[in-house]
Amino acid sequence: MATTVSPLAPAGFPTLPPVAGVRIATANSGIRYKGRDDLMLAVLDEGTTVAGVLTKSLTCSAPVIWCRDSLPRGSARAVVVNAGNANAFTGKAGDATVQATVEAAARIAGCATDEVYVASTGVIGIPLAADAIAKVLPGMVPALKNDSAALEAGARAIMTTDTFAKGSTRQVAIGGTTVTISGFAKGSGMIAPDMATMLGFLFTDAAIAAPALQSMLSEFTERSFNAITVDGDTSTSDTLLLFATGKAGNAPVTDARAPELTDFRKALEEVMLDLALQIVRDGEGATKFVSITLVGAENDVAAKRIALTVANSPLVKTALAGEDANWGRIVAAIGRAGERADRDLIKITIGGTLICAEGMEVPGYDEAPVAAHMKGQEIDVHIDLGIGTGKSRVWTCDLTHGYIDINGSYRS
């Protein structure tokens, strides 16, 4: 966990209203970090439903495999998350650690092991003792609390190279009953999600069936966590879980498109996007927050692929870091994205200034306002391909020497 906070960070951690049916405690596991908590335990009331999206990486962690196998049950009673060791590419030893962890948590919650969810983040390829986490959990039980401080502590305990804790919340009504959504996430590097976030945990006291939760989570992930990139690297451990305790007292909802969920859907997507953008703002070594809007593509899939190609281009990202209005690098990224594009139809605008159109730089182009825009912390890039109705918006950051410094010494 870094000591210097990102210059793009929000003013502070928000006050997250506690969610009825969720108790959280944190502790130091002794696995890697000293002087800080790196282990979170959440115990959920009986009747809690769950949804999740997980990395598609073929070298995913043992916790990801466990969650993937458990999600079809649709119910959850506990969550255990550790930072400092990803428990990925750890073979049978990794499986044994997960098994011991879920058994210990199940005894605490009084539930089946497949109602326990686990996630790990940190160094890849270092096996843990089977009881490395399990032996710490019983001592955390007296500290379990349902309050805002516990939620913030949970957000801080799961951090690795993050420079600030990331939280978000909303309160809306379902059928006249007020419900709360509070959640937190971690992520700073190895950020190019594939059907998930880095690590993210969302809690609501709404009564919503697991299939409806899953439908909403999967849909909104595509426009939030799957629309951000820091460095183009997908983690082995990407896990996003949404838990609904049902304690608010609303009439249970089984259809994700039910009219009574209109406000809830909006609020859930807002929380997810807020957390995703905080992750970009905490990109390792980042000094610029970059929004890329692409319209006029052949279809939405093509639009997103091209936008992400621009967002992941090291040449584009280093130009942003150097405050160099080198729009030719954007042109090059568009051309190699593998989707349809026509030189003479492309228009590129940065900070509201049109730079190129009709296959070349616009007559009388003045780079001064673009250069001035590049010196700010918030950079806006708009690309119009002019060939269709496809559109997408993605977010990224610049690539500075700070990224090399952080990752070159990550294990030391």
Which pLDDT belongs to residue 412? Answer: 60
pLDDT, residue 53, reads 97
Whether the full predicted model's pTM is greater than 0.85, yes or no, is yes
User: What confidence score (pLDDT) does residue 234 get?
Assistant: 87
Pair of tokens at residue 166? 């990331």
pLDDT of residue 1: 52
Cβ-proximal residues to 194 (8 Å cutoff; 6+ apart), any chain: 55, 56, 57, 226, 234, 238
Main-chain dihedrals φ then ψ at residue 225, nearest 5 degrees: -65, -30
Residue 257 vs residues 158, 176, 264: alpha-carbon distances, Å: 33, 17, 11
Alpha-carbon distance of 228 to 300, in angstroms, equals 16
Superfamily of domain 289-407: ArgJ beta chain, C-terminal domain (3.10.20.340)
**Residues contributing to the annotated binding site for substrate:** 160, 186, 197, 284, 407, 412
The Cα–Cα gap between 62 and 70 comes to 13
Average pLDDT of the chain?
96
CATH fold for domain 22-281: L-amino peptidase D-ALA esterase/amidase (3.60.70)
Q: Name the percent of the chain in helix, strand, coil, to the closest 5.
A: 35, 25, 40
Question: How far is 7 from 286, CA to CA, in rounded Å?
Answer: 8
CA 23 remoteness from chain centre: 22
Identify the segments of the chain with pLDDT beneath 50. Answer: none
Q: Determine contact, residues 225/202, Cβ cutoff 8 Å.
A: no
Give the residue among 390, 340, 40 at the shortest CA–CA distance from 200. Answer: 40
Amino acid 147: pLDDT: 98
Phi, psi of 409 (to 5 degrees): -125, 20
Q: Where are the beta strands (DSSP E) in 231-330?
A: 239-244, 289-297
Which residue is it, tokens 């109705």?
389
Q: Tens digit of pLDDT for each residue in 34-46? A: 999 999 999 999 9
Residue 35 CA: distances (Å) to CA of 26, 38, 162, 184, 289: 13, 9, 16, 22, 31
Q: What per-residue confidence (pLDDT) applies to 335?
A: 97
Tens digit of each residue's pLDDT (9 = 90 or more) over 364-401: 999 999 999 999 999 999 999 999 999 999 999 999 99
What is the pLDDT, as a whole number, of residue 2? Answer: 57
Domain boundaries, the chain: 22-281, 289-407
Q: What local confidence, expressed as pLDDT, does residue 3 receive?
A: 66
* Residue ranges of the binding site: 160, 186, 197, 284, 407, 412
Catalytic residues: 197
